[in-house]
Structure 1
Amino acid sequence: MKILVLGAGVVGTAAAYYLARDGHEVTVIERHDGPAQGTSYSNAGLVSPGDAYAWGSPSALRTFIKSLYTPDLGIKLRLRDPYLLAWTWRFLRQCTQTRANANTEVKLRLALHARDCINEITADTGIDFDERRKGIVYFYRTQQGLDTGAEHFRYIGERGLEMEVVDRKRLFEIEPGLADSGDRIAGGIYSPMDQTGDSLLFTTRLAQWATDRLGVTFLYNNEVKGLDIADGRVRTVRAANGAIACDAVVLSMGPESGVFARRHGIDLPIYPIKGYTATIPLEDPAKGPTMGGVDEDRYVAYSRIGNRLRLASTAEFASFDRSHRPSDFTRMFRSAHELFPGAVDDRKAQCWAGLRPMMPSSVPVIGPTRRYANFYLDTGHGHVGWTMAAGSGKFLADVVAGRKPDIDPQGLVPVN
């Protein structure tokens, strides 16, 4: 089939790779001048099944209320977008313990599959993206926080995630880069199944490999304008540089996916949630981390990408605003200096803000829509698109081919 993939982020590029590997004629349409220039450009760098918990849970409302009077918590809200109210109502409906458990299990199922898939891609293509397969540490600054976190992680530990609850001494043995943080850390959770890498490098190099080896065509600087539909099927995609006929279409436009889908009568409740990252050269690599980590009390994640430290934080509900100010990075810089004293000079940081495509359930949608038989979704991955991209692409290719997917599709396939 001639398949058009809308979006050349990490999700769309991984889908293009797997679809082309199945023998389809694949063209990717992208509004930017290269792959991974939107959401996939920068993130915490974590490929983290350990971060599979759904955002919606009984504690979510308490966390939101706390954020109103605790600016350092890393959650910001701007009530400027009417659609946010509708999205929030649907999000709150996911905040029961039953829904939280169900959504978490779907996320974990896909995340574990995706980790195997990204390693398969690495073996198949040989591309390098500064990956490290050393695990990730999720740590806490108080014993109470550690005890609560251990109970929290136990749920996914019982469902396939290998994990170890560690005290401060054991944590510093696993991650010597944290040893100079002193008594700021009580202990943490070590997930050896997690890993790290640069999503920009991965996407850029996979796109080139797919072009050279699989014949995938990437059309850059070519914004998608709409769909031409007849007899319940998409016939052509209208783009800035002209219409393109197709047999099937895959929507992977990140935070813009929801707006685009709703314009064509498909209820896709994606909301763009802004996150901030900073990438800083390591002044002394020996003082930096050796693996990825999450400061659970400060809501700051980080990873070691080559000889750079990547920091990420904040969930800001501000519609499609991608702007940022120096003050937006103060909290994560403070955490970096506390955890890795002498490792970085934040005056050399490359600062960035981007949007995560978040579903109310925190679960992406992958597969055909009921409205148009040949219109597929592979989007809505929220803050774990880098983690789930490869598994989503493989799952989508299996669905398109009519094969039985490697994982249970329950909870992933669109219902509208």
Structure 2
Amino acid sequence: MHVLILGGGVVGVTTAYYLAKAGHRVTLVERQPGVGLETSFANAGQVSPGYSAPWAAPGIPLKALKWMMMRHRPLVLWPRFEPQLYGWLARMLANCTEEAYARNKGRMVRLAEYSRDSLRDLRRDTGIAYDHREKGTLQLFRTRKQLDHVDDDTRVLDKFGVPYAVLDPAGCIAAEPALARVPNVFVGGLRLPGDETGDAHLFTQRLAALCSEAGVVFQHGASIARLRQGGGTVTGVELVSGEVLVADAYVAAMGSYTPALLRPLGIDLPVYPVKGYSLTLPVIDPGAAPVSTVMDETYKVAITRLGDRIRVGGTAELAGFSQVLRQPRRETLARSIGDLFPAGGDPAGAKFWTGLRPMTPDGTPFVGATRLSNLYTNTGHGTLGWTMACGSGRLLSDLISGRKPDIPSADLACDRGLY
């Protein structure tokens, strides 16, 4: 079967890898001059099944209001007349119940853990290297109130069998020795030893090279104008250049841009771009830098070691498709790493970046078939695209190949209920 993949981020490329491995002829279309150059380019670097949870949760509406009042706020909402934004927010609020949270968390952890295991298999099979480490994640609490509420997190982890350890300050320092230099900044932490780290952009590039060796054709610099349909199927992909590409099956993996592509076909995906930012600093003192990933709970910022660099990622900005780099967001990231690892990286050499995370109201991506018989989606992974990429690609390859996936998948498709 010839499968055409639309989108060359980490999700699209992993999908191409698994489809090629299953024996399909694969073509990947990407508007950028290479793969992994948009949302996958400079994300936080975490592969975090243990941290996979929907943003829609009980108590979040009140917390969101408090966050937006902070100077270094983790959430920013730009007032704008945009019906899609407010429809998305309404659906997200509808998911802020105990019942919905438990359901959505279960879906996300199931896919994320399967994805981590799939990534480990891929790494074993290919020997791919991407500045990865398998040293876990440390969620760091600055206040006693945060530490006192750790049971809210661990109850969910217990339910899904995710290993963890609640740590006192000494335990945090044992996991991340550089924190010994700032002992008065934190009061404890929650460690998730099963999490990993790695450079998603480097992974995507190197996996694309392996895909090319396996026969996958990459068509870069190819912007899609629209999808053609007829008889309940997609009949072709029309490029801006006028060229029409035809295949047996099609996978829409264009992140935040997927809904606009599918809406004319009568498929309305509630995926909204949530803007995130990152700083990448060169390491100047390895002993003062993080070992793995530290999640600063106060500012919702992840600080990750990637080889000889430190990646600082975070904030959620609801600003449509704007990719303007805003200085206040940089100051929040700089504040977090300055408090926790002040001597680890070189701020003067930092690179500031922003990307659009494709978020669904319930936190779960859309992976599976659509009402058109040969069209599939693999999008809406939000902040967890790197975490869920391999599992999503492997699962979708099984569905397209007519094989039963290793995990339940019906509730991941775009026809699931979101309320």
Counterpart amino acid of residue 94 in structure 1: N
TM-score (norm 2): 0.97
Matches within 5 A, 1:93-242: 93-212=94-213, 214-241=214-241, 242=243
1:309 pairs with 2:323: no
- CA drift of 1:185 comes to 0.9
- CA drift of 1:224 comes to 1.1
CA distance in 2, matches of 1:195, 1:95: 28
Q: Is the 8 A contact 1:276 1:353 kept in 2?
A: yes
CA distance in 2, matches of 1:155, 1:234: 41
Q: Secondary structure at the match of 1:322?
A: coil
1:30 pairs with 2:51: no
Match of 2:63 in 1: 63
TM-score (norm 1): 0.97
Q: Is the 8 A contact 2:169 2:183 kept in 1?
A: no
1:262 pairs with 2:263: yes
Counterpart amino acid of residue 125 in structure 2: D
Aligned length: 414
CA distance in 2, matches of 1:42, 1:112: 22
- Could you tell which deviates more after superposition, 323-332 or 127-136? 323-332
CA distance in 2, matches of 1:157, 1:237: 46
CA distance in 1, matches of 2:180, 2:135: 17
Match of 1:364 in 2: 365
CA distance in 1, matches of 2:272, 2:122: 30
Counterpart amino acid of residue 17 in structure 1: Y
Counterpart amino acid of residue 223 in structure 1: S
- CA drift of 1:147 comes to 2.2
CA distance in 1, matches of 2:72, 2:55: 18
Q: Which runs of 5+ in 2 are unaligned?
A: none
Q: Secondary structure at the match of 2:183?
A: helix
Match of 2:8 in 1: 8
- CA drift of 1:219 comes to 0.4
Counterpart amino acid of residue 4 in structure 1: L
Q: Secondary structure at the match of 1:314?
A: strand
The CA RMSD over aligned residues, in Å, is 1.2
- Could you tell which deviates more after superposition, 244-253 or 292-301? 292-301
Q: Secondary structure at the match of 1:72?
A: coil
Q: Deviations over 1:116-149 (max 9, x none)?
A: 0111111111111000001111110122211212
Q: Is the 8 A contact 2:134 2:197 kept in 1?
A: yes
Q: Deviations over 1:13-64 (max 9, x none)?
A: 0000001110110000000000001111111100001221111012111122
Matches within 5 A, 1:83-98: 83-98=84-99
Q: Deviations over 1:48-81 (max 9, x none)?
A: 0122111101211112211332232310001222
The change in CA–CA distance for 1:96 and 1:298 in structure 2 (over 3 A counts) is: same
Q: Deviations over 1:208-259 (max 9, x none)?
A: 11101x1001100001111111211111111134111110000000110122
CA distance in 2, matches of 1:258, 1:100: 24
Counterpart amino acid of residue 265 in structure 1: G
The change in CA–CA distance for 1:164 and 1:410 in structure 2 (over 3 A counts) is: farther
Q: Secondary structure at the match of 1:321?
A: coil
Q: Is the 8 A contact 1:337 1:344 kept in 2?
A: no
CA distance in 1, matches of 2:329, 2:175: 31
Q: Secondary structure at the match of 2:411?
A: coil
CA distance in 1, matches of 2:41, 2:188: 32
Q: Deviations over 1:346-385 (max 9, x none)?
A: 1211000010000001100111102x11000011001110
Q: Secondary structure at the match of 2:182?
A: helix
Q: Is the 8 A contact 2:282 2:350 kept in 1?
A: yes
- CA drift of 1:205 comes to 0.4
Q: Secondary structure at the match of 2:138?
A: strand
Q: Secondary structure at the match of 1:389?
A: helix
Match of 1:276 in 2: 277
- CA drift of 1:177 comes to 2.2
Counterpart amino acid of residue 79 in structure 1: P
Counterpart amino acid of residue 285 in structure 2: D
Q: Secondary structure at the match of 2:332?
A: helix
Counterpart amino acid of residue 304 in structure 1: R
Q: Is the 8 A contact 2:137 2:293 kept in 1?
A: yes
Counterpart amino acid of residue 232 in structure 1: G
Match of 2:402 in 1: 402
- Could you tell which deviates more after superposition, 219-228 or 232-241? 232-241
Q: Is the 8 A contact 1:272 1:320 kept in 2?
A: yes
1:387 pairs with 2:407: no
Q: Secondary structure at the match of 2:203?
A: helix
CA distance in 2, matches of 1:275, 1:196: 18
Q: Secondary structure at the match of 2:343?
A: coil
- CA drift of 1:88 comes to 0.9
